[in-house]
Each structure stands twice: as structure tokens, then as C-alpha cells.
Structure 1
Amino acid sequence: MVRQKSVTAAEPILSDRAHDAIKADILAGLLEPGEKLQLEAISDRYGIGTAPMREALNRLSAEGWVERRSQRGFFVSGLSFTELQELVKTRVWLETLALRESIAHGGQEWEDAAILSCHRLARTSRFVDPDDDADSFTLNPDWEVRHHEFHRALLSACGSGLMEQFCQQLMERAIRYRNLSVKFSLARRGDALVEHEEILTACLDRDADLACRLLGDHYRLTLDGLRERLFAEATP
């Protein structure tokens, strides 16, 4: 009697690991826009076989992080100022709506979480060991984590898990643009600490109109900076 080969969970786990590793490097700018993802080369880079790696690339393609070009293979998705404008506009629409709901319904627990996340963000430098040499700085991954936590905390009382999920997906796309803007240009905006504190204060004062205006201004200032650093040819 011939025994059929058993199916193990190893392959899906490797595929998930490959997916997360490649996506993290795309967000960090380590894999640059338009870069070709040669299957054998990235399999060696991440120490994962070609079969789970191909599955991961197909998933990333479906999510928009990678492009699959006919007869040419996989490439890191490019940057587009039009996409960036749409991204910022959509973030303002969704996050101001979620923020209004959080301000209306959030209690003490929501306030405490927002205050704590802002405090942690303020105590985290955006750059690792910054010095006077403009060519010598490295992004601090802990700052990005704290920044993400702060914005998620503000929206966490909106009462809609789907809304939070959509906002998180848009945040991830914005992270990539920010990281690449620092990588490709010496000019940088810094950690925008004052803007974050002003948004938090308006939320704690339950001033939804002011908080939403400040949040929108915060994202539009980021858009202006990214346009200067990544898309110098784009007109306002």
C-alpha cells in the first residue's frame, strides 16, 4: 500500500515569513521602487525556498506592494505623486471621521492610551545617533512603531474595527513614502513633535473640529515635504 505524502504546515509558515520580511524591507526602503525581485536571489537573501517565496510574491502583488510583469518577473512597486495625493486625501477623510467618533465616545481608558502613546513617541528619537554630519544618520525603527501606535490610539475608540483596519492599511503605505523621502534626500522634517502634542491636546479638550483640522494639516504638511523630496517636478 502506497502512503501519500503528508502535508505539513511548514510551507505556509515559510510563505508568511517571506511575505512579512519582504514587505518590511519595502516599507523601510531597503528594497527600492522598481527593483527587480529575482526569485533565486531573494530566496538566498532571506534563506527561504523558491516555492514559498513565489507564493509570498504573488500575495504581495495582490496587495499592491509588488508588480508582476508578464514574462519579466516581479518588481517592487513604483512611487507616484498622484497615488500619494490620493493616499493623503483618503487618510484625511477616513481618519478625521474615525477621530470624531473617538472623541465623542472615548472614555478615560482611551485618553490614557493616547497620552501614554504620545509620551512614548516624544521620548523616542527619529534617528539613531544623529550627529552634525548631514550624511550620517539612520532611521530609528522604534520611532516608526511609536508613531504608528500614537495615531492608532487616537482612532481606537471610533467603534469600528473595519475603519481602524482601513486606516492602518493607509498608514503603512504612507510609511513607505516617508522612509524613502529620508533615504533619497538629506532634507527632513523631523519628528513633528509639536504637531502631535497639539492634536492630542485638542482631543483631550474634546474639541473635535480643532483636532480634525490639526490632523488634516499634519498630513498635508507631510505631503508638501514629500513632494519636495521625492517629486520635485510636481507642482502644488
Structure 2
Amino acid sequence: MPIEMPRGLPFSVDTWTPNSGRKRHHFLTHAHRDHLQGLPARSFYPIYATRVTKIITLRHLPQIEEGLFVEIEVGKTVLVRDPEGDFSVTAFDANHCPGAVMFLFEGAFGNLLHTGDCRLSPDCLQKLPLKYIAKKGSDICLDYLFLDCTFGRTTIDMPNKESAIQQVIKCIWKHPNAPVVYLACDLLGQEDILVEVSKTFGSKIYVDKSRCAECFQALLLIAPEILSEDTSSRFQVCT
């Protein structure tokens, strides 16, 4: 769940409360609806997000002015001008859903990493600057870390994304004569499953535009080549 940034920082991340509204800069890690609650249709200050997050957000909330957004892509650093001191922001892949990023802020206030919602795999960590993932005893460290701990206390042994996708594919292989395969993958962030299924079985996937609008729009944006308009397709997304 998004939380307020500490007092004194000139920016907010994923929060749109009256307190956040007084911040001079706003950052949006991804376009899941719980991170868009309260986002105003108009603002005097910019919203930094990836292009994909911007597009999905505008589809969810068409009343928002597109001109509010400043695009920042994975691996890129932008310099943010601020009256109390300029600071830099770098976006890193959050391994969560299309367009989702972690933000690394560096300025006079210190070094701050906000993960947003993330699947923090070893690969994600290795993409962070080496100075922040150095061995114990390093002089350089993060001053603030806002970490997604949704499953921090779970005792469930969760597979990584690749293993989970392979489980789905193996299940399909076990039923070679099934005339139709229904995939309950209509949520933003499950597109990788559909892409791999399409690639593995050499078949496009039918998504009902009216019943699974969010899934259809996301795939149209990131993987249009796997979409089929044939309602008799073997692979179909269901809600």
C-alpha cells in the first residue's frame, strides 16, 4: 500500500492525498488502481512515470491531463530542478507489471530507493548501482529504503516468475487434446504468462475486448502480435 514520504522531502511516490499535494514533484511507480486512488485531474506539478504507465493510467482515468506527465524510462536518469536543491532520479525495472519501476532518488536529502510494488529478484538487485549493493562495510549506502513487504512474513515457498510460468505451460502440455484452454490471466501484470504460452504453443490468444478490457488494452500496448480476433481460438483469456 502506498505511504506518504517523510516531511522535508520535495516529492511524493504513489500517493495523492492533500499532504502529498503540497509536494513539488510526484512519481508514479505503476498503474495498478490502488496506486491511482485520489490522483487529481489537474495539478500544478508534474507526474513522473514510464510511457507505458502513463498510457495505462490515462485509459483508467481519461479526465487527467496528459501534459502533467514527464516520461522516465527504465535505466534512465533525469535531473529534477527544485528550489531547495536539484536531485536526480533513476528508474529501474520493478519486475511487477508493464511499465512498473523502482525509483532511486539522489540529492542533498540523501539516497533513497522506493521499490513501489516489486518482485525483488536477484536480477533486479544486480541492476542497481554497484555502490548500493556492495559488500558489508562499504562507506556508501542508502539513507532511506521504501520496500514492498507484501509477502514479507509469509511461510509459503513462492516460485520465481519463470518457474511459475513453466508450471502453467506444463499443465497445458498434460492436456494435448483439450479443444479450448481458458487462461485466468486478465489482471495487469499477468501478461508474461500469456506471451510465453503463445510463444510455446505457436498460437495466438483470444481476449474479449468488452469483458477483459484492461487485459486487452495492456496486450495491445506491449504484445499485440499474440492477440487473436478469432473467437474459436484454442487459447482464450477468461475472468
Report the TM-score range of the alignment, normalised by the length of the smaller protein. under 0.3
* Structure 1 or 2: more strand by fraction: 2
* Structure 1 or 2: more helix by fraction: 1
Higher relative contact order (CA 8 A, sep 6+): 1
